[in-house]
Structure 1
């Protein structure tokens, strides 16, 4: 299964993605303001790979002047339902449909990995004002929580993908992996959690790209077995999902 197929798989489950995916903690945006040296209020921001609106809505709540960029038709349609008064344009990070030096901040929430960094980095630098910043982040696995780490391994095995390392890469390696070598980059990790029902937890798992490309029978079998495991651990049928947001902020010279 190609990366392009996985990237576009979200369009098959846009409503499920909108309803089940985790958000981001307020502390994340505090750190972005700290790293960029300016408030988000009144900043011109482009949220790229905006999906169904999760990060865009939070940026707007902080007072940012946001435009969303999203390649997927179904995801963009879901975005318009939930944020009808925020502009959204079709496009992706490899060829941003934005003018030169027109934004203070470009954000990628859970979406930088779908870009070709030999193209997306120059595009970000083209669109940013001098001194502007590119912020990319992911909700990553809290490997120190045993049941979450074990679940992560099961999902990877079931989907036939390589599980993430239990050891997080150091700053130099993660900057290189993100294609940001040569730029001034700051990194932070923000831990947070949410309490959700089994149904929402399983819907969140099912909205992942590696899962979406599986046959329906394979998806159903995994969810059924995972629900059985959860019932053995959590009698009240709610779970606390713990995340570590990994944030990189690169500043344009």
Structure 2
């Protein structure tokens, strides 16, 4: 299954994505402001691969002047529904529909991995003003939480993909994997958590691309079994999800 096919899979679950996916902690945006050396208020930002606007909304709440860039039709429609006043253009990080030196900050929340870094890095540098920042981040799995690690392994087995190593890459490896070699990059890791109902947790899991590409019947059966397992561990049907946001910020020379 190609990365493009997995990226396009989100369009079939746009409403579920908006309703169930985790947001991001205030400390993430505090870190970005610290690295910028100024508040986000008034900063010209393009949120690329914006999806349904989860990060777009938080950037706007900080006072940033945000334009959303999203390739998926259903995801873009959901963003327009929840954020009707935010400018939105269709496109992706490999060919940004933005003018040269037009942004002070480019953000990629959960979306950098869907780009071809041989194209997306030069595009980011083209669109950023001198001294501007490229910020990419992911809510990553807190593998030190036993039930979360066990669920990750069940998902990987069901989807026929390798389970991720519980050992996180060091800073040099993280920069290499992100295709940002040669740039000045700063890394921050921010741990946070949220408490949600079991239904919301399962909807969140079901909105992941690895499950979406398997089709509705396969996902339904897997999620039914997950409900059975988790209802035993969480009889009140309230789950505490734990995340580590992995943030990489690169400066344009």
- TM-score bracket relative to the smaller structure: over 0.9
Deviates more, 1:109-118 or 1:31-40: 31-40
Structure 1, unmatched stretches of 5+, are none
Determine the C-alpha separation between the residues in 1 that align with 2:132 and 2:82: 28
Determine the C-alpha separation between the residues in 2 that align with 1:84 and 1:215: 31
Normalising by structure 1, what TM-score? 0.99
CA RMSD of aligned residues (A): 0.6
Aligned match of 1:108: 108
Aligned match of 2:156: 156
Aligned match of 2:6: 6
Determine the C-alpha separation between the residues in 2 that align with 1:53 and 1:215: 25
Determine the C-alpha separation between the residues in 1 that align with 2:242 and 2:163: 18
8 Å CA contact 1:44–1:105 kept in 2: the answer is: yes
Normalising by structure 2, what TM-score? 0.99
Aligned match of 1:48: 48
Query: SS where residue 165 of structure 2 aligns?
Result: coil
Query: SS where residue 188 of structure 1 aligns?
Result: strand
Deviates more, 1:50-59 or 1:153-162: 153-162
Determine the C-alpha separation between the residues in 2 that align with 1:122 and 1:215: 35
Cα deviation digits, residues 20-39 of structure 1 (max 9, x gap) = 00000000000011112221
Structure 2, unmatched stretches of 5+, are none
Determine the C-alpha separation between the residues in 1 that align with 2:32 and 2:127: 18
Give 1:3 shift: 1.2
Query: SS where residue 149 of structure 2 aligns?
Result: helix
Query: SS where residue 133 of structure 1 aligns?
Result: strand
Determine the C-alpha separation between the residues in 2 that align with 1:38 and 1:125: 20
Report 1:62-77 matches (<5 A): 62-77=62-77
Determine the C-alpha separation between the residues in 2 that align with 1:129 and 1:5: 32
Determine the C-alpha separation between the residues in 2 that align with 1:189 and 1:45: 22
Query: SS where residue 195 of structure 1 aligns?
Result: strand
Aligned match of 1:181: 181
